[in-house]
Amino acid sequence: MLFTPPMVEQYGEEWLLDLPADHIEELDDGSILLVVVSDISEYQSDTEIAEYLNDRMEPLEDAFETHKRS
């Protein structure tokens, strides 16, 4: 996911940098790149990949839901 500078301002830089992800990078233009899953090559079927991605996305979705309520 790419969070543009206005999105970084909306969500907060520190909050975005604390999200559960395999890789988070601050870009020169003020954007933040968030890579939730960096390697899915060990999974052998689309179903396994989908289940893994779902499991990895749940904490991220929860963080956004909690942030929205605050």
Task: Quote the pLDDT of residue 59.
Answer: 87
**Which residue from 37, 44, 40 is spatially nearest to 23, judged by alpha carbons?**
37
> What's the whole-model pTM score?
0.73
Task: Quote the pLDDT of residue 70.
Answer: 75
Q: Judge whether residue 61 has pLDDT over 80.
A: yes
Going from N- to C-terminal start, the domains of the chain cover: 2-69
Task: Quote the pLDDT of residue 42.
Answer: 83
Task: Quote the pLDDT of residue 7.
Answer: 95
Q: Judge whether residue 38 has pLDDT over 90.
A: no
pLDDT, one tens digit per residue, over 16-36 is: 999 988 899 999 999 999 998
Fill in the DSSP letter of residue 18: T
Beta carbons within 8 Å of 62's beta carbon, 6+ residues apart: none
